[in-house]
Amino acid sequence: MKQTALANAIPLNSSIRLGYVKYFFVFIAGLMAPFGFAPFHIPGLTLLSLAFLYSSLQNCSRKQGFFLGLLYGIGYFGFGVSWVIVSIHDYGQLNYCLAGLVTLIFIMYLSLFPALVAYLYKLLEDKNRKLLSLTLFCVLWCLSEYCRASLFTGFPWLLVGTPLIDTPIKYIAPILGVYGLSLVCVFISALLTLAVSQNSPKRYHYLIVIVLILISPTLCKNISWSQIKQEPISIGAVQANLSMRDKWDETLFWNLLKYYENAINKLLGKQLIILPESAIPLPASYLDKYLLKLNNKALKAKSALMLGILQPTNDRETNYYNSVITLGQAKGKKLKRQLVPFGEYIPKPLVKINRWLNLPEPNLLPGKRKQSLIRIENHPIASLICYEIVYPKLLREQMPKAQWIVSISDNGWFGHSLASYQQLQMAQVLSLLTGRYQVVVNNDGLSSVIASNGDIIESLPPFSPGLLQSSIFPAEGLTPWIIWYEYPSLIFCSIFLIFILFIQLRRLFQQ
């Protein structure tokens, strides 16, 4: 159908009658935003993307704003979390049509958040007070990310402040927190829109403010929020790069055990040896002799060993924990608390649908909230398993006692996609927020050592086997983020939104 015919078919007062080109470019802007994240590391594109969205919301109706926000979200999440379809198709046993449909529904759900931000912005904006409206947009975006991270167990992936760790703003991340970074990111983007749209000298004022925001955090560059002990801990990590099919293939099981034993033998003598999440695809209760052998080897070499494995929740072994157990010089265990929806458990309202689709039902249970920290040679350490990396609150609960962080994952579920890169970048944020070194061990690649300032010291290549050998340094002390978490940003946003609502209500009653 020609554009003129399509235009005539749509009523003049329709929300769609905004200009098809504008909708298209907002969608493209959404596609562009994930390029600010790993592995691309171009934060400027995320800033420009948000700036274009904010600019597009000027001079449009609420309905038009909603559709613009929705299209932006479809582009943003459609590209940024496209890896979801890999696990749904390859391991959820759905054909590409059904897997695509499920992925589309998930992306549409996520896209509702920027859509609601745009709608509420148009509902509450004050066109006569541009800076007030600009701040409103930033506040709404920040609160939407918090809601997205909390509702229905949450999905705190692709928070827009994350790319700022590749800019000087990273130096104040321990003060601002994750949502504070998002607030700053959106503020810079919206301010850039004002600067471009102004023809008066105010344009230069806005540009000066943007430059100051970007460079002033360097004043905090040499501030050390934690006290690093000059007592290096030698570490070794095993990156097997096993595909999910090989990992769960019964005929290859004994070869897998031999592989890990040989890898551990090469690392014996290191103070800490780490294997990835669910390294051995069999419950620990079936591997007593094998684990005892590894324990004796580690004790003899004075090494601590941490490995991911399933543990039964009861004697009947009807359910399991995704866990980390310790051998040798290490003491304690970790039971995963934040399970992956659909991958490790099915939300209760959707159990019947899952059975109707004849999909396998996971039998994993979450661990208790309060768990003792794993200890390595009297060093208490924080531990995170896979999906828990994107929930900073779970890490804060282990602070300030923990002296470093161990994060284990198996992202083989998502194939050769962006997932592992994005997760590693979020791990960098955690080290930055807490001032702690971190060892990230991932089955399918990018196993890394991260310094207390969030920089990657050493890393193995993706999608290849290897042994990571390095050193980390224990740390003590409190960063501002450990003390006050995300509360300053969230409280500011809440108070500001209440203030805007008060102004709107007062104006309504005065009419």
pLDDT band of residue 17 (cuts 50, 70, 90) is low
Integer CA distances (angstroms), 391 to 146, 337, 384, 396, 416, in order? 11, 11, 9, 9, 23
Three-state DSSP string of 422-465 = HHHHHHHHHHHHHCCCEEEEECCECCEEECCCCCEEEECCECCC
User: For residue 7, is pLDDT > 60?
Assistant: no
239 vs 233: CA distance, rounded Å: 19
Neighbours of 268 (CB within 10 A): 16
Distance, in Å, from the CA atom of 429 to the CA atom of 389, rounded to the nearest integer, reads: 10
Which residue is listed with tokens 């745009």?
Answer: 118
pLDDT reading at 201 higher than 90 = no
The chain-wide mean pLDDT, for the chain, equals: 91
The pLDDT > 70 percentage for the chain reads: 92
The single residue of 386, 388, 486, 493 carrying the catalytic annotation is 386
In terms of Cα–Cα distance, which of 241, 238, 239 is closest to 412? 241
Residue 9's pLDDT is what?
43
- Residue 90 CB neighbours (<10 A): 17
Does the pLDDT at position 348 exceed 70? no
| Residues across the chain | 511
Alpha carbons 303 and 334: distance in angstroms, whole number = 19
Q: Is the peptide bond before 174 cis (omega within 30 degrees of 0)?
A: no
- Tell me, yes or no, if 336 is annotated catalytic: yes
Which of the following is catalytic: 277, 344, 388, 486? Answer: 277
What's the confidence (pLDDT) of residue 507?
80
Q: How far apart are CA 259 and CA 294, in angstroms?
A: 13
The pLDDT of residue 358 is 62
Residue scoring higher pLDDT (496 or 100): 496
Q: Which residues pair with 335 in a beta bridge?
A: 323
- Are residues 155 and 203 in contact, defined by beta-carbon separation less than 8 angstroms? no
Residue 84 has pLDDT above 50, yes or no: yes
Instruction: Point out which residues pair with 311 in neighbouring strands.
Output: 321
Host H or E run for residue 320 = strand 320-328
Q: How confident is the model at residue 305 (pLDDT cuts 50, 70, 90)?
A: very high
- How far is the C-alpha of 240 from the C-alpha of 262, rounded, in Å? 12
Of the candidate ranges 207-216, 338-347, 349-358, 435-444, the one whose mean pLDDT is the lowest:
349-358
| Residue 265, burial from CB neighbour count under 10 angstroms (0-12, 13-18, 19+) | exposed
Instruction: Give the mean model confidence (pLDDT) for residues 1-16.
Output: 44
d(CA 398, CA 380): 9
Other beta carbons within 10 angstroms of residue 229's beta carbon come to 13
CA torsion 292-297-298-300 (nearest 10°) is: 120
Catalytic: 142?
no
Question: Who wins on pLDDT, 358 or 423?
Answer: 423
As given in the structure block, the two tokens for residue 370 are 């309060």
Mean pLDDT score, 242-260? 87
pLDDT at position 297, please? 98
Rounded Cα gap, residues 170 and 317, in angstroms: 46
Least confident of 26-35, 123-132, 230-239, 292-301: 123-132
| 3-state DSSP assignment of residue 333 | strand
Question: Which DSSP category does 278 fall into?
Answer: T
Secondary structure tally for the chain: helices H, strands E = 17, 15
Helix/strand/coil for 365? coil
With CA atoms as reference, report the closest residue to 350 among 105, 158, 157, 114.
Answer: 105
What domains, with CATH codes, occur in the chain? 3-32+41-222+486-510 (no CATH), 231-474 (3.60.110.10)
pLDDT at 342: 65
* pLDDT-derived band at 113, boundaries 50, 70, 90: very high
Mean pLDDT confidence for 309-335: 91
Query: In angstroms, rounded to a whole number, what is the distance separating the alpha carbons of residues 122 and 55?
Result: 12
125 is catalytic: no
Specify the pLDDT at position 91: 65
**The two structure tokens encoding residue 210:** 């943007």
| Alpha carbon 269 to chain centroid, angstroms | 34
How confident is the model over 456-509, as pLDDT tens digits?
999 999 999 999 999 999 999 999 999 999 999 999 999 999 999 999 888 878
In this predicted structure, the answer to whether residue 16 has a pLDDT above a threshold of 60 is no
Provide DSSP, 239-261. E----HHHHT-GGGHHHHHHHHH
Give residue 97's pLDDT.
86
Q: What is the helix, strand, coil percentage profile of the chain, to 5?
A: 55, 15, 30
d(CA 85, CA 419): 12
Closest CA to 434 of 470, 477, 472: 477
Residues 28, 53 contacting (CB under 8 angstroms): no
Give the C-alpha separation, 343 to 362, whole Å: 7
How many other CB atoms are found less than 10 A from the CB of residue 285?
14
From 270, 297, 336, 493, active-site residue: 336
Q: How far is CA 290 from CA 238, 274, 297, 327, 330, in A?
A: 17, 16, 11, 12, 17
pLDDT digits (tens, 9 = 90+) for 361-412: 667 889 999 999 999 988 999 999 999 999 999 999 999 999 999 999 998 8
Helices marked H in 81-129 = 84-90, 96-124
Distance from C-alpha of 422 to C-alpha of 431, rounded to nearest angstrom: 15
Whose structure tokens read 């970007």? 214
Quickly state the pLDDT bin for 24 (edges 50, 70, 90). very high
